[in-house]
Structure 1
């Protein structure tokens, strides 16, 4: 629990309407809500992790991590991509996003996930353990990131042991579309 009594839980099929509402309200249009619905039904996204934050029963935030691989090889160490993280406007700036990230990292470690990637805000995600310039560390994104945004492609190692491999990150088929990797 936090000072605001936010609760976090792993989502189930019963949460889909709340997830869609959070995603739509947070981004102010349905593109991300549609993407999340598609990802939740994408077998290539498994194993995944989907968490929902609530305050007094109201859904206020959602985070989704889907399976990633190196060079599309299934036998690579377990890795995930964070996409998306959403908090409804009236709860932004209250720590909900950070709380969702922290809870997710604990769950992902328990799943033996080795590394997490995100294409996100250059100053927000480093506050939560993500390191900028994942491509420079040997992990290029599925599609080229323009030079001015390369610091936004980030990673976080969840294991004390180095991954021991590098390569182009590939993700669930739903995310492997160029439009999800553009500004």
Structure 2
């Protein structure tokens, strides 16, 4: 049979076989590695996208919860709650309403507070509680401390922030 096939045709078939062999070798050593690498990278990318999506949803949920928490504090904080907060740290507490003003989206109620504490530590615990719990309260100057017997008479101004309605 080989005798019947001419040499040109045999040479062209050998060249085609050689070309197919070269393409196959290139595919195995070059293209296949890139394909595997692309598959690995695309799977990592899909995983990262799902993680990023989850993180963004969680972040939005936490921000909404924090906003609702602050908003509820701003809505429900009032003079009575302020009085009970001060009464936890001071004796003979009196609060006088000085006025109310609007500042942007907040109504600011200004109060003058007076009371007696045993030690300055009680006053600092009050400040620490206001800070740690994130109450919408600001202490304003002047702060006065006057020793009367065993106790210290304390007076200061407070600003209570509420959402403007």
Say whether the fold is shared (TM-score over 0.5). no
Q: Which has the higher contact order (CA 8 A, sep 6+)?
A: 1
Instruction: Decide which structure has greater helix share.
Output: 2
TM-score interval, normalised by the smaller of the two chains? under 0.3
Instruction: Decide which structure has greater strand share.
Output: 2
Largest Rg, 1 or 2: 2
